[in-house]
Structure 1
Amino acid sequence: MITPGNPVTTGLGAATKVFDSALQQRERLRDLAREAERELMAVQMASMDELTLLSNRHGFQALAQLGLDACQELDKPATLLFFDLDQFKRINELYGRTEGDDALKTFADVLRIAFRESDVIGRLGSDEFAALLTGSGAVEISAIRARLEEILDERNGTLHRGYDIGFSIAQLEFDPDIHRSVERLMAALDDICHQGTIEF
């Protein structure tokens, strides 16, 4: 009942407070989402090679370990490949650093085209690249070389450089009883390459 001298209460004040609180919560959630997105971007950038946009060594090791874990869980094989560009130092010396960077980016693109989405590829440093083939045992090196060279020949012919991009390749199949982790697998293949007991 409305009587003279008494304020009228309609409940609008309480409703406004609830509405304001909901808006504040929604805005806070947006802030948290933006913050999480920035942190995720920072993690991605820390794991990515800025030049080739492949995973860097850190990112490759993290993703390759996940791939190895999945292969072990599913009882599937995995094989690690190392790639090294031929005469890369000479390209830098004769044609300049920019041309050397272009050669690295071209080879990175070739690896993206040649391998499956389920494979993990990365640039380990300088002119060294790696690929982990998940679900694949030791592969025919000549077949991989032929596939990569076919794509490279197309690029070399299109770009009309004063040189051709060449590469060396080595592989090692993952053995969980010996290697146990991607770091050990990489170290084992690196040792084999330096000992010269594997044909590049």
Structure 2
Amino acid sequence: MTTDPYETRYHRAPCGLLTTTTEGIVVEANDTLLAWLGRTKSDVRGVSLASLLDPSSRIFLETRHSQVLLLQGRAEQVALTMVATDGTAIPILMNSAVVDTGETPLVHSAVFNATERLAYEQDLLRARRSAELSGQRLQIMHDISTAFGVSTSDVEVGDAVVRVAREAFAATAASVLLIDDDGVLQPVSGTNPLWGVVAPIPSIRATDREIVITADDADVTFPELAAGLRDARLEAMSVTPLSAEDRTIGLLVCFFGRTREFDRGFLELQQALGRQAAQTLVRVRLQRDLEHMARYDQLTGIANRSSITETLEASLDAAAQAGEPLTVIFVDVDDFKSVNDAFGHATGDEVLRTLAERFRDGVRTGDSVGRIGGDEFVAICPAADTVAATTIAQRILQLAREPIATAHGALELSISVGASVYSPDAGSPPTADALLNRADDAMYSSKAAGKDQALVR
């Protein structure tokens, strides 16, 4: 069976991901969260979220968090404490949003382990008590928090890191490099005078602590950098790992044109900057994933009901203003229940993923495809008249007929297709619901006429 890339990312996400009912009953939890708690899926499914929290967090969840979530549809940066099976208290920050799937509303939450954040705050308190930490450095820490608080993308986080690093450490240049999906360090922000030299050095890339390389010792410790430093007229450079959840996701590299003292305060400040940057990157990426989850079907990766409805309304308005036709295609898999009954829901899910891919291949570039529930799919095709609608529908029919490889062998299925065409010369445009219902009716007419065919209205 083909592994679902989305499911893999879900379970291996660097933060906990949790799905509950609006009553707080756990529906799903990813592997990261289960590992923190020392529990299995069967341990948490069907239990209340409150039962996984310490007493004070339970009270807050039930008296405050749940009410805010139901009234506003989301709750962000909620501080709670979870309890692992061995009794370990795990401080967390939780961002939650109610997602209307078209059936039963669910609550999707991103759970961030705040242990490192607490350690960071303790580091900051110790730093404040230290006579070596000047008021300027305190201002720098404030600047870090302010800059990161408004960052919404990898590039914005990188830009903030570079700006703060250059000001805080009086660096000649600074660069942020992040590890991409292929495991390659890529420049994201700033200037790297030694790009092409720094990134490939394994000992630098694999560092799990702050390191400083001066021009005097480069010949011995990092000979690959010696010539580069001399050519760029640099006296030193520092490398700070950006690490979260014991995993390095990038590097901050600062370059210095003048000799300076790299004291303990310097290294601690770089460490704090690197830790905060990594945590912000995790937050930004998980927020992006949550937004994706709210708009796309988790099984197939195509648009969900709410997203495809928004697209249909916008497309209908655009078609009416431009005086162009618009086609809505409604697809239902014939006898899909028999697949689940005979081979199980896992095979049924595999079939739906394959059909979703084929439907995307069957429509044109610029068309939209979504799953609105069960084995029902919708395609929105701008500027498609009756002739184009017929061509697209027939192409989808043909693709659906091709055997689908499963763990139980190749399955041959068919679909019933109904298409509804809005023509600008037919008078006032229908509502999005009316156009969709007309395509739905056409699909049922196709099914009643013998299935495995398309009807265009």
Aligned to 2:370: 122
Normalised TM-score (structure 2): 0.35
- Residue matched to 1:54: 302
Q: Deviation digits for residues 58-113 of structure 1, max 9, x if unmatched?
A: 11001222222222232211111000101101111111111111111111000111
2:409 is paired with a residue whose SS is: coil
1:113–1:167 distance in 2 versus 1, CA, 3 Å: same
- Residue 385 of structure 2: which of 119, 128, 137 is its match? 137
Q: What is the 5 A alignment of 1:149-168?
A: 149-152=397-400, 156=403, 161-168=409-416
CA RMSD of aligned residues (A): 3.2
SS at match of 2:412: coil
Which residue, out of 431, 437, 440, partners 1:181? 431
Instruction: Measure how far apart 1:125 and its partner are.
Output: 0.7
**Do 1:84 and 1:129's aligned partners in 2 also have CA atoms closer than 8 Å?**
yes
Decide whether aligned partners of structure 1 residues 100 and 144 sit closer, same or farther in structure 2, where only a CA change above 3 A counts: same
Look up the equivalent residue of 1:172 and give its one-letter code. S
Q: Of the two structures, which has the highest relative contact order with CA contacts closer than 8 Å and spacing of 6 or more? A: 1
- 1:190 Cα deviation (Å)? 2.8
66-75 vs 114-123, greater mean Cα deviation: 66-75
Residue identity in the other structure for 2:148: R
Aligned partners of 2:144, 2:363: CA distance in 1, in Å?
A: 43
2:292 is the counterpart of 1:44? yes
Q: Give the share of equivalent positions with the same residue, in percent.
A: 24
Instruction: Name whichever structure is richer in strand by fraction.
Output: 2
Higher helix share: 1
Secondary structure of residue in 2 paired with 1:42? helix
1:188 is paired with a residue whose SS is helix
Give the partner amino acid of 2:380.
L
Are 1:112 and 2:230 an aligned pair?
no
Instruction: Return the offset for 1:158.
Output: 5.6
How does the TM-score come out when normalised to structure 1?
A: 0.74
**What is residue 73 of structure 1 aligned with on the other side?**
321
**Match for residue 190 of structure 1 among 440, 444, 451:** 440
Q: Measure the CA separation in 2 of the matches of 1:184 and 1:78.
A: 13
Distance 2:350 2:387 in 1: 29
Where in structure 1 do 4 or more consecutive aligned residues deviate above 6 Å? 195-198
Match of 1:82 in 2: 330
Partner deviation per Cα, 1:118-154 (whole Å, 9 max, x = no partner): 1111001111101011111123666335423443455
Q: What is the aligned residue count?
A: 184
* C-alpha spacing 1:92/1:121, structure 2 compared with 1 (3 Å): same
Q: Report the counterpart of residue 28 of structure 1 in structure 2.
A: 146
Partner of 1:95: 343
For 2:383 and 2:338, the matched residues in 1 are separated by 37
Structure 1 residue 37: deviation in Å? 6.1
Give me the whole-angstrom Cα distance separating, in 2, the residues matched to 1:30 and 1:127: 43
In the alignment, structure 2 segments of 5+ residues that lack a partner are: 1-134, 153-282
For structure 1, the residue ranges without an aligned partner over 5 or more in a row are 1-15
